[in-house]
Amino acid sequence: MDISRFEGKPVRVTDKFGTVYEGICSHNSIDYDEHEFGVSEEALQFPAVLVWKSIIVSVESLEDVDGPYGHFSAPFGEIEEIAFQDGPSLIDEILFCEEDEMVIRILNCIEHHFCTLGEPLPEWKDELADLLKQLPWFTEDLAILEKSDKLIALLTGGEKTESKF
Q: What is the pLDDT of residues 124-141, one digit of tens each?
A: 999 999 999 999 999 999
Whether residue 45 is predicted with pLDDT greater than 60 in this model: the reply is yes
* pLDDT, mean of residues 154-160: 80
Total-model pTM: 0.91
Question: Domain 3-61 belongs to what topology?
Answer: SH3 type barrels. (2.30.30)
How is residue 137 annotated by DSSP? G
b/e map 72-110, b = 16+ CB within 10 Å: beebbbbbbebbbeeebebbbbbbebebbbbbbbbbbbb
How is residue 46 annotated by DSSP? E
| Bridge pairing between strands 10-15 and 20-24 | antiparallel
* pLDDT, mean of residues 55-69: 96
